[in-house]
Chain A
Amino acid sequence: MAESPAITAPRDGVLGTVSDVLYRRPTLLLLLLLTPPLLWLGIIYLGSLFALLAQSFFSIDEFSGVIQYRLTLKTYGELLAPANLDIIVRTTLMAGSVTVAAAIVAFPIAYYAARYARGKWKALFYLGVMLPLWSSYLVKVYAWKLILAKEGILNWVFENLHLTWLLDAYLSIPVIGGNSLSVSYSGTFLVFLYVWLPFMVLPMQAALERVPVSYLEASADLGASPLQTFSKVLFPLAMPGVIAGSIFTFSLTLGDYIIPQIVGSSRLFIGQAVYSHQGTAGNIPLAAAFAVVPVIIMGFYLWMAKRQGAFDAL
């Protein structure tokens, strides 16, 4: 047998040569891989965000309505006007309550799926959460318009159960009530909860999957009641999942402008304020400043979440 050479000559033409060069310079390969996505995201996305941020430091001339391209904090000052502060507080409260409610509703689903569902049921649960998560946002909102309509299914159910009085009593509660569910905060809240709920279930389930059953058994073995096991063992271990999920429910609620526009009272949320200021009012600086608010709130929220180790569950 003739001995083959230990090192073979370059081959496969240009591609082979390019491949050889990339082997010698792994950094070059990395650069080639990263350049297109970074150019796209860096220029288009970050550039836009920067443009937005820059706009918020401009102001609008009250008389002419023309944007003045001079750096000023005047626009941010306007944010502090009582009407605008109202909007910010209202939106944050809504986002907070939607998040808490989503965590409560999601827990049994996530826990059941993580601990008890097996085989076919497990797949069914997973799909049962995945499909609503990914399916059309607008269609989901539309479904609630159908449900909450005066002649819709919800009123029909209450009527047939002879419970209309209960609904009326609920609607007469100030703040959360209103003329009907479809023009009340409760309605807005329900739709938000519905639309973002799957975003809470999945990370929660992922976190719960990682809690070995033996921990719970150990807790019970050491004399803890089920409630104590929940509060001392299960809940703390599920917390990273809850925080990961809450990032979505919180952020998505903060920035949404379609749900409160379609189901809700006429009082504005941050998203609607941004939308109307940039649209009909033409006050881009104020719209931009408003848009920065959820970024700041989210930034603070993410910072807190990171400190809690929530990102490991993502």
Chain B
Amino acid sequence: MRSDKTLRSPLPLKIAAGAGLLFMHVPILLIFIYAFTTEDKTYQWPPPGYTLKWLGVTWNRPDVWEALNLSVRVAAISTLVALVLGTLCAAAVSRTRFFGREAISLIVILPIALPGIITGIALRSAFNIAEIPFSFWTIVLGHATFCVVVVYNNALARFRRTSASLIEASMDLGANGFQTFRYVILPNIGTALLAGGMLAFALSFDEVIVTTFTAGQQATLPIWMLEELVRPRQRPVTNVVAMVVFIVTFLPILAAYYLTRGGDQVAGHGK
């Protein structure tokens, strides 16, 4: 138990912590302001005026829609694959101790522990060697690989929190393995899987480093943005897209947080 007298924090600590949080959030707020600026040639601050015009302009841009569409499809399929693979892996690792268990955790974590560029170029050279042409599926292949860990972390945390005796109790009461999965395991890990899926979606939707290596000619929304970042052409549209990308990733993250609140924390160091 912590005594009350320890709850008063020193002022410098308070200031440093607050400043740190501000440092993490102010830049993101700017994105929202710039999406409504009337200035379209530079990044002028403060914006000379505000307008909703660019929302409309962006709405009517087929290239943005195309990129958004591709990103959503890639993220959806990758999330699905990651859900299956991550859950299977977590189930195996959590329920038994076996030789090579550590190695499996390592393999799952490796795709995000190693810099993305390595995953990217490794996949690209493998595609080259195997003579696989770039396509929608090569992007998914890459994304699913690094999304597995997110689902895995969330599912594993929940499996560990769920007492093993629940499964035994179900079998004891007459349920076979499949019935136990349906009536006990799934309801208990459901929210963790949903949270893991949401984070995997956000991760995939936003990924750019691996994607540049596995996408060929197609542009996901982050790739579209990266091109704009390197060679700015339509700054106001980019501003709006940046805001949209932020919101599309923000919502699942928030949802994931609420789904796993009060128990295992969302496996934050999973990215």
Chain A positions within 8 Å of B, measured between CB atoms, are 12, 15-16, 18-20, 22-23, 26, 29-30, 33-34, 36-38, 40-42, 44-49, 51-52, 55, 105-106, 108-109, 111-113, 115-116, 118, 123, 125-147, 149-153, 156, 194, 197-199, 201-203, 213, 217, 244-245, 247-248, 251-252, 254-258, 261-262, 271, 274-275, 278, 284, 287-288, 291, 294-295, 298, 302, 314
Contacts and interface: CB of A to CB of B under 8 A. Distances in A.
Q: Which of B114, B230, B261, B271 has the most CB of A within 10 A?
A: B114
B104 interface: yes
Given A45-B110, A202-B268, A33 B242 contact: no
A258 B228 CA distance: 13
Given A139-B31, A255-B117, A194 B24 contact: yes
Q: What's the dominant secondary structure at chain B's contact region?
A: helix
Interface of B: 2-3, 6-7, 9, 13-14, 16-17, 20-21, 23-25, 27-28, 30-31, 34, 42-46, 81, 84-86, 88-89, 91-92, 96, 98, 104, 107-108, 110-111, 113-119, 121-126, 128-129, 141, 144-145, 148, 176-179, 199, 202-203, 205-209, 212, 222, 225-226, 229-230, 238, 242-243, 245-246, 249-250, 253-254, 257, 261, 265-266, 268-269, 271
Contacts of A251: 113-115
Given A34-B104, A288-B121, A143 B88 contact: no
Contacts of A213: 2-3, 6
Contacts of B13: 108, 111-112, 116
A274 B117 contact: yes
B115 A271 contact: yes
Contacts, number: 282
Contacts of A201: 20
A106 B16 CA distance: 9
5 contacts: A51-B126, A146-B31, A197-B20, A254-B115, A257-B117
B9 A112 contact: yes
B119 A40 contact: no
Contacts of A128: 21, 24-25
Contacts of B179: 12
A46 to B, nearest CB: 7
A115 B6 contact: yes
B255 to A, nearest CB: 11
A52 B125 contact: yes
B6 to A, nearest CB: 5
B139 to A, nearest CB: 13
Nearest to B205: A136
B43 A252 contact: no
Contacts of A302: 113
Contacts of A150: 42
Contacts of B238: 142
A156 B46 contact: yes
B122 A49 contact: yes
Given A51-B126, A203-B269, A262-B229, A134 B34 contact: no
Contacts of B104: 34, 38
Contact of A134 (B14, B31, B122, B199): B199
Contact of A291 (B84, B96, B122): B122
B111 A141 contact: no
Given A138-B206, A145-B229, 4 more contacts: A134-B202, A139-B246, A152-B43, A213-B2
Given A45-B107, A194-B27, A40 B249 contact: no
A143 B28 contact: yes
A257 B27 contact: no
A26 B20 contact: no
A255 B266 contact: no
B4 to A, nearest CB: 11
A288 B125 contact: yes
A139 B28 contact: yes
A110 B13 CA distance: 10
Given A16-B176, A126-B265, A30 B96 contact: yes
Nearest to B42: A151
Given A112-B13, A134-B253, A140 B6 contact: no
Contacts of A48: 119, 122-123, 125-126
Contact of A105 (B20, B115, B121): B20
Given A36-B85, A37-B108, A48-B125, A138 B115 contact: no
B110 A138 contact: no
B266 A130 contact: yes
Contacts of B199: 134
Lowest 7 A-B CB distances belong to which pairs? A255-B115, A108-B16, A112-B17, A19-B176, A48-B126, A48-B122, A143-B27
Given A118-B7, A138-B206, A138-B229, A111 B17 contact: yes
A132 to B, nearest CB: 4
Contacts of A149: 42-43
Nearest to B252: A134
A215 B91 CA distance: 37
**Which of B23, B122, B179 has the most C-beta atoms of chain A within 10 angstroms of its own C-beta?**
B122
A255 B25 CA distance: 24
B128 to A, nearest CB: 8
Contact of A22 (B42, B122, B177, B269): B177
Given A127-B257, A152-B43, A142 B119 contact: no
